[in-house]
């Protein structure tokens, strides 16, 4: 294990709380180098009762890539002994891929670009679920929270465009939902949740922010932690925004 992949919360005042989890608890964040991922790491380090935050990214784990099941399985195996983790956050994802931004119209679609969006935002997510669910506790309340996007909502799609990103986020949501149904049989107290953070200034959103009201990563993550703390375990996933509102799938 690389030292940079694990950190123990500092003694600074604890700004966050996740009182629904039994205390103390451990956390694991995938995509911890991203804007939202690093904000989750910081918030969890600042969280009352959180004894350790383990991070997984292309920086902390050499060879880790959403495109490689082997690397995902290896990262899960490496971090298993430090668990179980009462909260796992998957903050990975991409919008501009291989230098290509989202498609605005049907004529812009090409198979390779669509496949890459699915590879990262849906298949990568599924493989993370496959290998990291086992790092949740077998008994007791726990949270598996993933960064989705409102544009992945079928019913919310009034603007069109962004074909590959929208469709791959919707597919990622379905994979999460299906994993939630299955996992409820063995982990009835586990909560699965897809999260919409708002428009957060980041490498991912920078080219597309104009005209949108933005929210800082710190505020988005504080709102999401507060919202997911209140969710009940059920044999389905939830889809929520950072203000605690429910989003239709
Ligand atoms: N920012 C927003 O306004 C917004 C809005 C709605 C939803 N979201 C969602 O929130 C999540 C995080 O977004 P963000 O704004 O924090 O973006 P970001 O700063 O670009 O972070 C993305 C994270 O995903 C990782 N990643 C991307 N492709 C990968 C790959 N092939 N293999 C392994 N890791 C990979 C990145 O790793 P590296 O650091 O190594 O590149 C980084 O840790 C995404 O799922 C995004 O769709 C964001």
Q: Looking at residue 138, which CATH number applies to its domain?
A: 3.40.50.720
Nearest CA to ligand 1 atom 40: 58
| Cα–Cα–Cα angle for 133, 136, 138, rounded to 5 degrees | 110
- Hunting for tokens 């703390």 — which residue is that? 229
Report the alpha-carbon distance of residue 247 to residue 230 in Å, rounded: 16
Instruction: Report the candidate in 237, 225, 231 with the shortest Cα–Cα distance to residue 39.
Output: 225
Q: Which of 94, 95, 211 to mutate to test the pocket of ligand 1 (most atoms within 8 A of CB)?
A: 94
Q: Residue 4 has what pLDDT?
A: 40
Q: Is 99 exposed, middle or buried (0-12, 13-18, 19+ CB in 10 A)?
A: exposed
Instruction: Report the candidate in 225, 227, 226 with the shortest Cα–Cα distance to residue 240.
Output: 227
Residues of the chain short of pLDDT 70, as ranges, are 1-14
Residue 132 lies in a domain: yes
Residue 248 lies in a domain: no
Q: Is the CB of 226 under 6 A from ligand 1?
A: no
The one-character DSSP state at 151 is: G
Residue 149 lies in a domain: yes
Q: Residue 2 has what pLDDT?
A: 34
pTM over cut 0.85: yes
Give the chain's domain count.
1
| Domain that includes residue 138, residue range | 18-241
Residue 12 lies in a domain: no
Residue 11 lies in a domain: no
Q: Residue 13 has what pLDDT?
A: 54
Nearest CA to ligand 1 atom 5: 199
Residue 54 lies in a domain: yes
Residue 4 lies in a domain: no
Q: Is the CB of 197 under 6 A from ligand 1?
A: yes
Q: Residue 1 has what pLDDT?
A: 32
């Amino acid at each position: 294990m690389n030292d940079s992949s694990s950190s123990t919360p500092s003694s600074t005042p604890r700004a966050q709380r996740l009182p629904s989890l039994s205390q103390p608890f451990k956390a694991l964040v995938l995509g911890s180098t991203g804007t939202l991922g690093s904000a989750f790491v910081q918030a969890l380090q600042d969280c009352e009762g959180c004894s350790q935050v383990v991070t997984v990214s292309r920086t902390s784990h050499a060879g880790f890539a959403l495109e490689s099941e082997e690397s995902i399985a290896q990262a899960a195996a490496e971090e298993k002994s430090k668990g179980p983790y009462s909260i796992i956050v998957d903050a990975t994802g991409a919008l501009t891929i291989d230098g290509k931004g989202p498609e605005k119209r049907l004529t812009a679609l090409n198979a390779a670009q669509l496949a890459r969006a699915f590879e990262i935002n849906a298949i990568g997510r599924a493989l993370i679920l496959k290998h990291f669910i086992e790092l949740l506790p077998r008994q007791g309340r726990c949270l598996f929270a993933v960064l989705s996007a409102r544009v992945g909502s079928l019913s919310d799609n009034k603007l069109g465009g962004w074909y590959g990103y929208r469709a791959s986020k919707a597919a990622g949501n379905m994979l999460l939902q299906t994993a939630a149904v299955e996992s409820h049989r063995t982990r009835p107290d586990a909560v699965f949740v897809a999260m919409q953070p708002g428009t957060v200034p980041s490498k991912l959103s920078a080219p597309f922010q104009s005209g949108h009201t933005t929210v800082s990563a710190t505020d988005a993550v504080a709102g999401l932690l507060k919202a997911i703390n209140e969710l009940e375990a059920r044999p389905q996933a939830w889809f929520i925004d950072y203000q605690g509102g429910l989003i239709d799938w």
